[in-house]
Amino acid sequence: MSARSRTAEQAEDGAGSWKASLPCSKAEAEALQEDISPLALLDEPPVLMSSEPDPARPDEWRLDAYFAAEPTAEMLAMLQALAPSSAGAAPTVERVEARDWVTLSQQGLEPIQAGHFFVHTPAHRDKVPADSIAFEIDAGRAFGTGQHETTSGCLVALSKLKDQGIRVSNLLDLGTGTGLLAFAAMRLWPTARAAASDIDPVSIEVTEENAAINQIRVGRGPGHVELAVAAGLEHGRLRQRAPYDLIIANILAGPLIELAPSVSKALEAGGRLILAGLLDSHAGAVAAAYRRHGLMLGFRVQHGEWPTLVMRKRKSLGWR
Closest CA to 317 of 294, 300, 296: 294
Residue 150 counted as an annotated binding residue: no
The CA distances from residue 256 to 71, 86, 241, in Å, are 46, 39, 20
Closest CA to 136 of 212, 50, 46, 247: 212
d(CA 159, CA 156): 5
**Minimum CB–partner distance for residue 233 and ligand SAM (Å):** 8
Nearer to ligand SAM, 181 or 246 (CB): 181
Residue 191 counted as an annotated binding residue: no
What angle, rounded to 10 degrees, do the helices at 149-163 and 180-188 form? 10
Nearer to ligand SAM, 24 or 238 (CB): 238
**Minimum CB–partner distance for residue 200 and ligand SAM (Å):** 4
83 with 24: CB under 8 angstroms? yes
**Minimum CB–partner distance for residue 184 and ligand SAM (Å):** 10
Paired residues of 19 in beta bridges: 66, 94
**Minimum CB–partner distance for residue 107 and ligand SAM (Å):** 20
**Minimum CB–partner distance for residue 83 and ligand SAM (Å):** 27
* Whole-angstrom Cα Rg for the chain: 21
Nearer to ligand SAM, 83 or 256 (CB): 256
Residue 214 counted as an annotated binding residue: no
Residue numbers at the binding site for ligand SAM (CB under 6 A): 142-144, 150-151, 154, 174-177, 180-181, 197-200, 203, 231-232, 250-251, 255, 277
Nearer to ligand SAM, 51 or 86 (CB): 51
**Minimum CB–partner distance for residue 279 and ligand SAM (Å):** 12
Residue 232 counted as an annotated binding residue: no
Nearer to ligand SAM, 46 or 175 (CB): 175
Nearer to ligand SAM, 79 or 247 (CB): 247
d(CA 66, CA 295): 49
* DSSP codes of every residue in 44-91: SPPEEEEE-S-TTSTT-EEEEEEESSPPPHHHHHHHHHT-GGGTTPPP
The 3-4 sheet, strands edge to edge: 3-4, 47-51, 61-67, 18-24, 92-95
* Alpha carbons within 13 A on the beta-carbon side of 65: 31
Nearer to ligand SAM, 31 or 276 (CB): 276
Return all residues near 24 (Cβ < 8 A) that are at least 6 apart.
50, 61, 62, 63, 82, 83, 85, 86
**Minimum CB–partner distance for residue 54 and ligand SAM (Å):** 19
Which amino acids are annotated as binding site for S-adenosyl-L-methionine, given as ranges? 151, 175, 198, 250
Residues tagged in the binding site annotation: 151, 175, 198, 250
